[in-house]
Amino acid sequence: MRQAGSTALVVVAGLACLLGGCARDSVPTARGSRSLSPSDFVAAGGAPTAAVVVTQAPVQPAPGGALDVNLTADREATGQRPAEISGPIGESRGLTDVQGRVGSPEPGTAGTPVGGPVLVDAKIGEVNGKPIFASTFFDVGSPTQEPLGRRLAARAKEAGRQAWMEFAAREIVNRLDEIIRPELLRAEALSNLPVEKQQGLFAWVENLQEEARRQSGGSQEAFKRKLAEEDLTPEQMLRMRQESALIYLELQQKVERRLNVTARDISQAYNGRFYDRYHHPPRYQFRLIMTPKDATEDVARVEQALAGGTPFEDVATLKANRYKRDDDPVKAGLELREVADPKAMGELFASPVLNNAAAGLGAGDTSPRLDVGTSWAWLHLSGIIDPPDEYAAQLPIEDELLRERRRVAEARYLERLAGRASVTSIPQMREQLLRIAAERYLPATAR
């Protein structure tokens, strides 16, 4: 151990002199060792060397098995080999060739790029310290929505650049709000909720989780399989329910309690902004089926269904009907006509045949087969919708006013929360996300 200490001292002293110069002509070392001097670092010929080369050659144990680290001039003159070196240099078994040179480092050969730069991922911003990454934003969906990137890629194949940009901007705004809104509300609710109430709330959520497990058959594995169908784990479901409970509690306390719709508000809306909706003539709700005359099988199918008592609304959804069937099955063949005077209905349809048939129908009646040019037609009067009075309209009006005021109040509250929270500029994040989306999903020519 005394010899190993001498070796370390010699190496440290040598490096110190090499890098910074020796303070004196000689450096005292362990007893029995020769002191180092600047002459030890002078190459043969008298000139200082600019490089130090350390090469390990195969060695043999010293006589008697002792390791002598005193590298004296006498031993060098007699040809004795250096002592065995351990550690990383010794492990290299004579293959080490370390050179230290004075000067700047030389860079290696630069690699040749195989293509242009590609955006792998980007941090868009943060919400309360939680980062938002582009990959997560576009490639990860929710339990109720597919990943946004799929919708943007599919839309890019159908729409032009301007239409796609407008669509992408709307989708990005909605998706970003879905990330920021719950995080702001959750953090605020958690910070305002006392610890004892937090424990009670989380216990209540866990009871809901346990009840859901029992409804799945009582087996934890069955519960996991059911959640797996929705790409969820029990832990994710528990966390989602906890966050939903916190958000609901925060909105109830800070937004819902302040909402109020009075009878005067309803009356003013009924006779003001909603006047056309609730002050109109009676509306006649017709259903029309039209089938080409040469489609004999379809014509027979329609007549058979009507003769068999199938509701006219259901018959209108059949493929045999060529009139307004593909737009929306619920509205297949639907035509609304306002009739101020039932005795003088006026021109309801452009076709005189249909117009005459409509004048003779009562609520629930169906016309016989009508000859309308190249098609056969059947006309049905589903009902007559009278405009509701103020009493009948008050609940729909109240619901709509509450929704509007809730959106406004919640937006203002979220704006205040965003001002207090640590949130990256929302317009800046929207702009960056739209730029990344265009690079990802728009064809190069469109970009």
Q: Please indicate whether residue 68 or residue 407 has the higher confidence score (pLDDT).
A: 407
What single string gives the DSSP state of each residue in 77-102?
Answer: HHTPPPPP--HHHHHTTT--EEEEES
Residue keyed to tokens 């010929």: 45
What does the pLDDT read at residue 410?
Answer: 92
What does the pLDDT read at residue 382?
Answer: 92
| CA-wise closest residue to 384 among 285, 281, 288, 287 | 285
What does the pLDDT read at residue 144?
Answer: 66
Cα dist. 140→119, 143, 145 in Å?
17, 10, 9
- Residue 112, domain member (yes or no): no
How many structural domains does the chain have?
3
217 with 255, same domain: the answer is yes
Those residues whose C-beta lies under 8 Å from the C-beta of residue 202, and which sit 6 or more positions away, are 242
Among 77, 101, 125, which residue terminates a domain? 101
Among 70, 101, 132, which residue terminates a domain? 101
pTM over 0.85: no
Distance from chain centroid for Cα 155: 18
Instruction: Please say whether the beta carbons of 423 and 125 come within 8 A.
Output: yes
Mean pLDDT of the chain: 78
pLDDT at 214 over 50: yes
187: three-class secondary structure by DSSP: helix
What single string gives the DSSP state of each residue in 380-440?
Answer: EEEEEEPPP-HHHHHHHHHHHHHHHHHHHHHHHHHHHHHHHS-B--HHHHHHHHHHHHHHH
Q: CA-to-CA distance for 333 and 351, rounded, in angstroms?
A: 15
257 with 122, same domain: the answer is yes
Q: CA-to-CA distance for 9 and 71, rounded, in angstroms?
A: 13
442 with 304, same domain: the answer is no
- Residue 106, domain member (yes or no): no
Amino acid at 433: L
377 with 392, same domain: the answer is no
What single string gives the DSSP state of each residue in 344-357?
Answer: G----SSSHHHHHH
Q: What CATH number should be reported for the domain holding residue 122?
A: 1.10.4030
By percentage, how much of the chain surpasses pLDDT 90?
A: 35
pLDDT tens digits along 133-189:
988 889 887 666 788 999 999 999 888 889 999 999 999 999 999 889 988 998 888
| CA-wise closest residue to 261 among 398, 392, 390 | 398
What does the pLDDT read at residue 43?
Answer: 52
243 with 148, same domain: the answer is yes
296 with 372, same domain: the answer is yes
pLDDT tens digits along 325-340:
877 778 899 999 988 8
Token pair in block for residue 373: 């040019």
By percentage, how much of the chain surpasses pLDDT 70?
A: 72
pLDDT tens digits along 282-299:
999 999 999 999 999 999
- Residue 40, domain member (yes or no): yes
394 with 247, same domain: the answer is yes
User: How many helices and strands (H and E) does the chain possess?
Assistant: 16, 8
- Domain assignment of residue 10, given as a range: 2-101
Q: CA-to-CA distance for 136 and 125, rounded, in angstroms?
A: 12
What does the pLDDT read at residue 431?
Answer: 93
pLDDT at 15 over 50: no
pLDDT at 115 over 90: no
28 with 58, same domain: the answer is yes
- Residue 330, domain member (yes or no): yes
122 with 224, same domain: the answer is yes
- Residue 93, domain member (yes or no): yes
